[in-house]
Amino acid sequence: MNSEFILALEEIEREKNIKKEVLLETIENALISAYKKNYETNQDNVFVSIDNETGVVRVFAKKTVVEEVTDPQTEISLEEAHKISKQYDIGSEVEIEATPKTFGRIAAQTAKQMVTQKIREVERENIYEEFSAKEHTVIEGIIQRIERRNIYLDAGKAEVFLPVSEQVPTEMYDFHQHLKVYVTEVKKTTKGPVITVSRAKAALVQKLFENEIPEIQDGIVEIMSISREAGSRTKMAVKTNNENVDPIGACIGAKGARVQVIINELNGEKIDIVKYSDDPEEFIRAALSPAEVVSLNVDVENKQAHIIVPFTQLSLAIGKEGQNARLAARLTGYKIDIKSDRDE
């Protein structure tokens, strides 16, 4: 270890934002352990000093001045202490250099290992903090590898994990493909942070709208609820307190330009945007669109709705395999029972 090593630490400080003093302290503590291990000693009175300009490493042993030495490792006679300095007296503590001639090579190897380890620890902590702040937001990544159908994306400073359970069944994924994903969880592990993301959550659609629509960003339009069957269809309820703003129109945009950006990102997934209402009847009618409702009976206490639709629109109201009714039920929070006017 020499002055070049100190310059390297200063470079690391600038590039990695790790204080040189922190690195030196970490190395010194590691060198004490290395000294004890390699020279078979359990002395607790040993410490290591690194000159922060020259990089010179020195080992010292702290010894107490006594009249009669019984433990040479921790004690020194007054006579020997006076050879160092006349200022010492009985009970004084003397620092005596004990650097072995062969310690330089051990010190260099240990220092390299500890610097590498410290950099890794700090980088992992920085990644954890950065992505913890991005939890429940949308980020973009590039597919780097696929293992057992699980997908790993490069998200800049970190690799993120898209498990099979959070993928969209209808989507095809290719290497180097760019994907927008929703960060569901950032978890610390012994191997570093694990960042789990989703393409299937309804929250992904909500965040895409929040990022794309200025009126939502400004709080003029509010997303009240959202239900999704990933890869097929989403229903979203919106409202505004500004009578001059059409909340549905704001989300759709001129000639559908705004919503089309999100549909494209979701590979053609259908999106129904409906107007939210505090009136359950009105909200349920809107949620069942595009089907028309002839009449409905709402049980607010039990969160149930019995709905009559024209016979010709029964299949539209229920939807393919019941999808429209399911999404409307999730959107409104009501159990929905649909019948045609011919069944009455």
Q: What's this model's pTM, rounded to 2 decimal places?
A: 0.76
For range 269-289, the mean pLDDT: 95
pLDDT more than 90, % of the chain: 67
Domain with CATH 3.30.1480.10 in the chain: 3-131
pLDDT given at position 267: 94
Domain with CATH 3.30.300.20 in the chain: 202-340
- Contact at 8 Å (CB) between 63 and 93? yes
pLDDT given at position 329: 96
Overall fold of domain 136-198: OB fold (Dihydrolipoamide Acetyltransferase, E2P) (2.40.50)
Residue with tokens 């206490």, as numbered in its chain: 301
- CATH class in words for 3-131: alpha beta
For range 28-36, the mean pLDDT: 87
Q: Cα dist. 17→10, 116, 158, 159 in Å?
A: 10, 14, 17, 21
pLDDT for residue 38 is more than 70:
yes
pLDDT given at position 12: 87
pLDDT for residue 97 is more than 90:
no
Q: Cα dist. 300→275, 279, 334, 335, 341 in Å?
A: 19, 10, 8, 10, 23
- Tell me what the pLDDT averaged over the chain comes to: 91
Q: Cα dist. 67→61, 62, 261 in Å?
A: 19, 16, 86
Question: What CATH number has the domain spanning 202-340?
Answer: 3.30.300.20
CA distance 229 to 269: 9
pLDDT given at position 286: 95
pLDDT band at 1 (very low <50, low <70, confident <90, very high): low
- pLDDT per position as a tens digit, 142-195: 999 999 999 999 999 899 999 999 999 999 999 999 999 999 999 999 888 999
- pLDDT per position as a tens digit, 57-73: 888 889 999 999 998 88
Q: Which of 22, 203, 10 is nearest to 125 (CA)?
A: 22
- pLDDT per position as a tens digit, 107-125: 888 888 888 888 888 889 8
DSSP per residue over 190-242, as a string? TTS-EEEEESS-HHHHHHHHHHH-HHHHTTSEEEEEEEEETTTEEEEEEEES-
